[in-house]
Amino acid sequence: MDDSQNPIFVTKPFLPELSELMPYLEKIWAGHQLTNSGPFHQEFEKELARHLGVEHISVFVNGTLALLTALQALRIVGEVITTPFSFVATTHVLTWNRVRPIFADIDPETFNLDPEKIEAAITPETTAIMPVHVYGTPCNVQRISEIASKHNLRVIYDAAHAFDVKYNNQSIAAYGDLSVLSFHATKVFNTFEGGAIVSHNPEMKLRIDRLKNFGFVDEVTVLEAGINGKMNEFQAAVGLLQLQHMQEVIDRRKAVHEYYVQALSRAKGIRIPAALPNVERNYSYFPILVTEEYRLTRDGLYEHLRKHGIFARRYFYPLISDFSMYSHLPSSSPANLMVAHRVAEQVICLPLAPTLEKKDLDRICDLIV
């Protein structure tokens, strides 16, 4: 069958065979425990901690509620320094916590917050830094930690893209005061929707677990204004099953990544970000920069691909700082975010999914080269 016109999207979630899920569903149906820290929820937290090699993890219904709760757990107020080059949720959670976002520029190689720009943005109001490991590329965690210690700031990593990324043989989610993961359908590891906070001691995990359950301490005691962030049993069951397939998923993604690198290295004007040392990647996105030397503009290439059924995405254009609710902030000025603007104007994320086949990749690469 000729599928040369079939659409290819930026991603396609991995799903195990439906038959593999049935035993989990039968257990849920038999027990009638659908949510509120049921058996799958508890087992999933244990298995995740083991898989990632971290001590304490609290799972959530989605990554955004996990981020919102992480800020509450650390009682963040005042100003937080963050990146404009991310999905809009990264900044919205600050706004929902009535915290002022302060944007700082990014590094031209990693597209993550530039530590030197963080230091320059600190004021007496600054209480925390919220960097993002964008596309799963680790931030300069050492430098960020030094700056945070020197200025007595908290660090909350938005690690939404970084499931299973390792730095110096340790999960990247182990860094920072708290790290927040997303298990959304479009992520490397998905539970349809989902998220988690990695913390570093039992007291903090307990605090987070109470905050995600309305602040309940016991049946008759509520100590804080919590929220409903609980992951349900269906999501946890999917998560337990997906964990068993992670290696296969990453291996397939790696093969797609390597195919692109090899095929696109001969495309004049297309820049592929370099791999970093001491990093085990998860191959979550395949960003390219369309530079002035390429025969089309970035938007020209984006439209050309669309015309042929390839739905690549311009993550993360526009910058968060350019959305109307943030563009008035002094730190949103283009002069403050020159690198971020350049990257946002050149970037395209090509389709990357474990299901992509050689013929799909040839179709995509032939349109680009």
Binding site for ligand T4K (CB under 6 A): 9-13, 62-64, 86-87, 89-90, 132, 158, 160-161, 182, 184-186, 195, 311, 315
Q: Given the complex with ligand T4K, which of 99 and 294 has the nearer CB atom?
A: 99
Q: Specify the residue, 87 or 259, whose C-beta has the smaller distance to ligand T4K.
A: 87
C-alpha–C-alpha distance, residues 205 and 209, integer Å:
6
Q: Which long-range contacts (CB under 8 A, 24 or more apart) does 224-227 make?
A: 227/65, 227/68, 227/69, 227/72
Identity of the residue, 9 or 142, whose beta carbon is nearer to ligand T4K in the bound complex? 9
Nearer to ligand T4K by C-beta: 11 or 112? 11
> Closest residue to ligand T4K, Cβ-based?
63
Query: Of 99 and 160, which has the nearer Cβ to ligand T4K?
Result: 160
Cβ pair 56, 200 in contact under 8 A: yes
Burial class (CB in 10 A: 0-12, 13-18, 19+), 124: exposed
SS (H, E, C) 272-319: CCCCCCCEECCCCCEEEEECCCCCCCHHHHHHHHHHCCEECECCCCCC
Q: Which of 57, 33, 35 shows the shortest CA–CA distance to 45? A: 57
Shortest Å, Cβ 132 to ligand T4K:
5
CA 26 to chain centre: 32
Quote the least distance from Cβ 94 to ligand T4K, whole Å: 12
Beta carbon nearer to ligand T4K, 128 or 132: 132
Residue bearing tokens 């600054």: 126
**Nearer to ligand T4K among residue 65 and residue 147 (C-beta):** 65
Q: How far is the CB of 12 from ligand T4K (least distance, A)?
A: 5
C-beta of 13 vs 39, nearer to ligand T4K = 13
Burial class (CB in 10 A: 0-12, 13-18, 19+), 368: buried
Write down the least CB distance from residue 319 to ligand T4K, Å: 13
Rounded to a whole number of angstroms, the minimum distance from the CB of residue 32 to ligand T4K is: 27
Closer CB to ligand T4K, 11 or 332, in the complex: 11
Q: Is 224 exposed, middle or buried, given 0-12, 13-18 or 19+ CB atoms closer than 10 A?
A: middle
Residues 6+ apart with CB under 8 A from 297: 290
Q: Are 160 and 40 in contact (CB under 8 A)?
A: no
Strand (E) or helix (H) holding 147: helix 141-151
Write down the least CB distance from residue 197 to ligand T4K, Å: 12
Query: What is the SS3 assignment for 2?
Result: coil
Which positions ≥6 away from 323 have C-beta within 8 Å? Answer: 88
Element (H, E) at 195: strand 195-199
Q: How far is the CB of 74 from ligand T4K (least distance, A)?
A: 17
Q: How far is the CB of 62 from ligand T4K (least distance, A)?
A: 4
Least Å from the CB of residue 259 to ligand T4K: 20
